[in-house]
C-alpha cells in the first residue's frame, strides 16, 4: 500500500489481504508465519479488522439467533471463570477419551446402549404432561404461513422459451424474513448430471448483479413442486425472479437465456 | 433501449424470449440504491468481562452477538447444520480469545465479526473445494428478524461507508464483491472484466487504505 514497502512486506500484505477475504492455503499460512517472524509488521489483524468492519457496515444481520441454537451455545459455555486462552478450548469442547477409557467403552457399549434405551423409555413414559414434538411443517404449510405474513409478495411465472410456455406456478417472497418459495408445475425434466435449474433474483436495490437463488432439479413435469428459495445474498425488494438452465452446481454469471420469469408489477 | 428501460421491459412488464441476465445486470447498474444498514446493538465491554471471568457476560455475549454471528454463518454456509456447528465454534473461539479484544483498535462488533469471518472463510474454502449441487432441504426455519441497530453502531457504519466512499470505484467494487458477496479473485475478475492480478491489487490497496482511515491515519502513506 505504500510505495516504500520492500518485497517481503508487500508479500505479507498480499497474504494478509487474502486471509481477510478468501482465506489462505496451508502453504500460504506457513509462508505468512515465516515472513512475519522476520518482519517489523506488528498489526497483523488490521486487514481482517478492516474487512470485518466493511462486512458489518454493509451487510446487515438478517436473522436473530434461533432459540434452539442459543440453548446449545449456553450448554457449551464455560461453567466457571474462563481459563487461560490456550486451555479454554478443552473446557468448552469434550476432551478426547483416553485409550483405557475407550477400550472400556467398546467392551461395555452394548450394555450401555441397552441401559440408556431403557432409561429413555422410562423417562419418556413417566414425565407427565410432556407432549411429543409436533411434526415439522411441510413446505406447503410453510409457504401458506409465509403468505400470511405482512410484506409477502406473490408473483406468477411466465414461460419465455419454447417448451416452457406451459409452466405454471408462482413465487412467494418476503423481503423482511428473507424467505420464499417457488411453486412450479410443468417445468421440463432436467438431467442433473448435465444441467440444473438455477434461480436468479433481480434486485437492483441490493445488487446490480442478479442474486443466485440456488439450484434445483425438476423430476416430473406433471406434478406441482414447492421449492424453498435459498438466496445467497439478501434481497429486500426483488423486481423479478428468473430461471435458467446451467451446469451442475450452478454458475456465478449466467448468459441465459431466461426460461421462465416472474415479474413484480 | 436504455438500460433502465431494459429492466422495465424485460424484468417487470413483459420479458421477451431471448432475454438474458446480462441485460438485467446492466439495468441494475443504473438503478443501484444505497441500502440502510441494520446492525445489532453493541455493548461496551462484554468481551473484557468474559476475559475477566464474568460468567454472566458469556450469556450476554450470546444474546448480543448471536444474530451477527448466525447471520454471517448463514451467508457463508448454505447448509443450516453447517452454519449451526460453525456458530458454536465461533463462540468457543470468542470465549477463548476474549482477552485479545482491544477497544482502542476496533469495536467489539468488528472484533466479533473478524473472529467469525476467519472461521467461516476457512470452512468455505474447504467446502468450495468439493462443491456439489445444493441440496434442497425438506423443511426450512422461517428466520426471526435481527435486532435493530443502536445509534453507536449506525455511527460506526457511517464511518466505514465514508471510508469506503473515499476509495477508487474499482477498489470499492472489488472489496464489496470479495468481502460481502464472497467471490473468489477469479470470479471478481470475470465480473469486472479485469486481470486477476489487478483485482488482487485493488483489494489489497483498498483494504490498506481502509485500515489506515479506520485507524485514524487518514490517507498517509497511501498510493493507488
pLDDT digits (tens, 9 = 90+) for A143-167: 888 988 888 999 999 999 999 998 9
Joined grid coordinates for residue B128: 468450495
Joined grid coordinates for residue B172: 470499492
Nearby residues of B29 by Cβ (< 8 Å), 6 or more positions away: A208, B3
- Name the average pLDDT for chain B: 73
Given a contact cutoff of 8 angstroms between Cβ atoms, the answer to whether B177 and A232 are in contact is no
Residues of B with Cβ-Cβ distance to A244 under 8 angstroms: 21
Does pLDDT of B41 surpass 70? no
Joined grid coordinates for residue A31: 509462508
Are B160 and A13 within 8 A, CB to CB?
Answer: no
pLDDT in tens, A214-254: 888 887 656 778 888 888 777 888 999 999 998 887 887 88
Q: Smallest Cβ distance to B139: which of A142, A248, A264? A: A142
Task: Looking at the complex, report in whole angstroms how far the Cα of residue B80 sits from the nearest Cα belonging to chain A.
Answer: 11
A155 DSSP β-pair partners: A171
Residues of A with Cβ-Cβ distance to B33 under 8 angstroms: 204-205
Residue of B nearest to A93 (CA): B92
Residues of B with Cβ-Cβ distance to A5 under 8 angstroms: none
Task: Looking at the complex, report in whole angstroms how far the Cα of residue B127 sits from the nearest Cα belonging to chain A.
Answer: 12
A179 DSSP β-pair partners: A174
A:169-208 residues touching chain B, CB 8 A cutoff: 176-179, 192, 196, 200, 202-208
Query: 3-class DSSP state for residue A259?
Result: coil
Are A81 and B144 within 8 A, CB to CB?
Answer: no
Residue (of A265, A212, A256, A155) closest to B14 by Cα position: A265
Given a contact cutoff of 8 angstroms between Cβ atoms, the answer to whether B40 and B151 are in contact is no
Q: How confident is the model at residue B42 (pLDDT cuts 50, 70, 90)?
A: very low
pLDDT in tens, B68-97: 999 899 888 878 888 999 999 999 999 888
Q: How confident is the model at residue A195 (pLDDT cuts 50, 70, 90)?
A: confident
Question: Of the given ranges (A1-5, A235-239, B183-187), which has the lowest mean pLDDT?
Answer: A1-5
Given a contact cutoff of 8 angstroms between Cβ atoms, the answer to whether A174 and A141 are in contact is no
Nearby residues of B9 by Cβ (< 8 Å), 6 or more positions away: B1, B15, B16
Rounded CA-CA distance B203/B197 in Å is 10
A225 DSSP β-pair partners: A184
Residue (of B178, B75, B3) closest to A202 by Cα position: B3
A174 DSSP β-pair partners: A152, A179
Mean pLDDT of B3-13: 36
DSSP state string for B63-81: HHHHHHHHHHHHHH-SSHH
Q: Is A44 on the interface with B (CB under 8 A)?
A: no
Mean pLDDT of A28-32: 90
CA dihedral A71, A73, A79, A82 (to 10 degrees): -150
Rounded CA-CA distance B6/B11 in Å is 8
Rounded CA-CA distance B116/B112 in Å is 6
- Higher-confidence residue of A230 and A30: namely A30
- Name the average pLDDT for chain A: 75
Mean pLDDT of A208-216: 83
Quote the percentage of chain B above a pLDDT of 90. Answer: 33
Mean pLDDT of B142-147: 49
A:229-248 residues touching chain B, CB 8 A cutoff: 230, 232-233, 236, 239-240, 242, 244, 248
Residue (of A156, A162, A139, A154) closest to A245 by Cα position: A162
Does pLDDT of A256 surpass 70? yes
* Complex prediction ipTM: 0.72
Q: Tell whether the torsion through CA atoms of A215, A216, A222 and A226 is positive or negative.
A: negative
Rounded CA-CA distance B22/A33 in Å is 43
Are B145 and A64 within 8 A, CB to CB?
Answer: yes
Q: What is the pLDDT of residue B87?
A: 95
Residues of A with Cβ-Cβ distance to B50 under 8 angstroms: 82
Residues of B with Cβ-Cβ distance to A137 under 8 angstroms: 139
**Mutating which of A72, A82, A147, A214 best tests the B interface, going by the most B Cβ atoms within 10 A?**
A82
Rounded CA-CA distance B154/A148 in Å is 32
Q: Smallest Cβ distance to B142: which of A58, A146, A215? A: A146
For A27, list phi and psi in degrees, rounded to 5: -65, -40
Task: Looking at the complex, report in whole angstroms how far the Cα of residue B179 sits from the nearest Cα belonging to chain A.
Answer: 6
Beta strands in A110-221, from DSSP E residues, in sequence order: 152-156, 158-159, 168-174, 179-185, 196-202, 211-216
Are B53 and A76 within 8 A, CB to CB?
Answer: no
**A19-57: string of b/e by CB count within 10 Å (b at 16+)?**
bbbbbbeeeeeeebeebbeeeeeeeebbbbbbbbbbbbb
A:103-162 residues touching chain B, CB 8 A cutoff: 136-139, 142, 145-146, 158, 160-162
Query: 3-class DSSP state for residue A70?
Result: helix
Mean pLDDT of B137-143: 35
Does pLDDT of A61 surpass 70? yes
Block residue for cell numbers 469434550: A94
Joined grid coordinates for residue B80: 443450516
- Strands of A211-216's sheet, edge to edge? A158-159, A260-263, A240-246, A196-202, A211-216
Mean pLDDT of A87-115: 34
Q: Is A70 on the interface with B (CB under 8 A)?
A: yes
Rounded CA-CA distance A177/B144 in Å is 7
The CA-atom distances, in angstroms, between A247 and each of A26, A255, B5, B124, B182 are 30, 12, 30, 21, 20
How many alpha carbons lie under 13 Å from residue A192 in its C-beta half-sphere?
Answer: 11
Mean pLDDT of B23-37: 35
For A216, list phi and psi in degrees, rounded to 5: -160, 170
Rounded CA-CA distance B212/A21 in Å is 17
Q: What is the pLDDT of residue A103?
A: 32
- Higher-confidence residue of A137 and A11: namely A11
Quote the percentage of chain B above a pLDDT of 70. Answer: 65
Mean pLDDT of B195-223: 79
Given a contact cutoff of 8 angstroms between Cβ atoms, the answer to whether A195 and A245 are in contact is yes
Are A239 and B7 within 8 A, CB to CB?
Answer: yes
- Strands of A225-228's sheet, edge to edge? A152-156, A168-174, A179-185, A225-228
Residues of A with Cβ-Cβ distance to B42 under 8 angstroms: none
* Of A18-22, A145-149, A188-192, B79-83, highest mean pLDDT: A18-22
Rounded CA-CA distance A198/A217 in Å is 9
Residue (of A2, A176, A124) closest to B205 by Cα position: A2
Joined grid coordinates for residue B19: 432475454
- Higher-confidence residue of B153 and B14: namely B153
Rounded CA-CA distance B42/B152 in Å is 8
Task: Looking at the complex, report in whole angstroms how far the Cα of residue A142 sits from the nearest Cα belonging to chain B.
Answer: 8
Residues of B with Cβ-Cβ distance to A17 under 8 angstroms: 200, 203-204, 207-208
Amino acid at each position: 500500500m505504500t510505495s516504500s514497502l520492500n518485497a517481503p512486506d508487500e508479500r505479507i500484505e498480499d497474504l494478509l489481504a487474502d486471509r481477510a477475504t478468501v482465506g489462505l492455503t496451508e502453504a500460504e499460512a506457513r509462508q505468512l508465519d515465516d515472513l512475519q517472524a522476520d518482519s517489523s509488521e506488528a498489526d497483523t489483524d488490521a486487514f481482517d479488522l478492516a474487512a470485518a468492519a466493511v462486512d458489518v457496515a454493509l451487510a446487515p444481520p438478517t436473522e436473530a439467533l434461533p432459540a434452539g441454537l442459543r440453548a446449545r451455545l449456553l450448554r457449551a459455555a464455560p461453567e466457571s471463570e474462563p481459563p487461560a486462552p490456550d486451555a479454554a478450548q478443552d473446557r468448552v469442547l469434550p476432551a478426547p477419551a483416553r485409550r483405557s477409557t475407550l477400550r472400556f467403552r467398546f467392551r461395555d457399549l452394548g450394555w450401555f446402549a441397552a441401559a440408556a434405551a431403557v432409561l429413555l423409555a422410562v423417562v419418556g413414559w413417566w414425565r407427565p404432561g410432556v407432549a411429543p414434538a409436533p411434526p415439522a411443517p411441510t413446505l406447503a404449510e410453510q409457504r401458506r404461513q409465509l403468505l400470511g405474513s405482512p410484506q409477502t409478495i406473490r408473483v406468477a411465472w411466465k414461460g419465455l422459451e419454447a417448451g416452457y410456455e406451459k409452466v405454471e406456478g408462482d413465487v412467494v417472497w418476503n423481503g423482511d424474513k428473507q424467505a420464499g418459495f417457488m411453486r412450479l408445475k410443468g417445468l421440463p425434466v432436467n438431467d442433473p448430471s448435465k444441467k440444473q435449474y438455477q434461480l436468479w433474483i433481480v434486485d437492483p436495490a441490493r445488487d446490480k448483479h442478479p442474486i443466485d437463488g440456488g439450484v434445483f432439479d425438476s423430476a416430473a413435469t406433471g406434478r406441482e413442486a414447492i421449492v424453498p428459495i435459498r438466496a445467497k445474498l439478501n434481497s429486500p425488494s426483488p423486481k423479478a425472479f428468473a430461471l435458467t438452465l446451467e451446469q451442475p452446481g450452478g454458475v456465478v454469471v449466467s448468459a441465459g437465456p431466461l426460461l421462465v420469469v416472474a415479474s413484480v408489477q | 433501449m436504455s438500460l433502465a428501460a431494459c429492466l422495465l421491459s424485460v424484468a417487470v412488464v413483459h420479458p421477451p424470449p431471448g432475454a438474458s441476465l446480462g441485460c438485467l445486470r446492466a439495468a441494475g447498474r443504473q438503478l443501484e440504491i444505497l441500502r440502510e444498514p441494520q446492525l445489532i446493538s453493541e455493548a461496551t465491554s462484554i468481551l473484557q468481562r468474559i476475559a475477566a471471568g464474568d460468567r454472566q457476560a458469556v450469556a450476554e455475549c450470546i444474546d448480543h452477538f448471536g444474530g451477527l454471528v448466525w447471520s454471517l454463518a448463514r451467508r457463508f454456509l448454505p447448509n443450516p447444520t453447517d452454519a449451526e456447528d460453525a456458530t458454536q465454534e465461533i463462540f468457543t473461539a470468542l470465549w477463548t480469545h476474549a482477552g485479545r479484544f482491544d477497544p482502542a483498535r476496533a469495536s467489539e462488533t468488528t472484533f466479533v465479526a473478524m473472529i467469525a469471518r476467519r472461521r467461516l472463510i476457512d470452512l468455505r474454502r474447504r467446502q468450495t473445494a468439493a462443491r456439489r449441487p445444493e441440496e434442497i432441504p425438506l423443511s426450512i426455519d422461517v428466520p426471526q428478524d435481527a435486532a435493530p441497530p443502536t445509534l453507536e453502531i449506525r455511527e460506526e457504519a457511517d464511518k466505514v461507508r465514508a471510508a469506503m466512499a473515499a476509495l477508487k470505484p474499482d477498489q470499492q467494487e472489488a472489496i464489496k464483491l470479495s468481502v460481502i458477496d464472497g467471490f473468489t479473485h477469479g470470479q471478481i475478475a470475470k465480473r469486472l472484466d479485469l486481470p486477476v492480478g489487478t483485482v488482487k491489487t485493488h483489494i489489497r490497496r483498498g483494504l490498506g487504505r481502509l485500515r489506515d482511515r479506520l485507524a485514524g491515519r487518514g490517507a498517509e502513506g497511501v498510493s493507488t
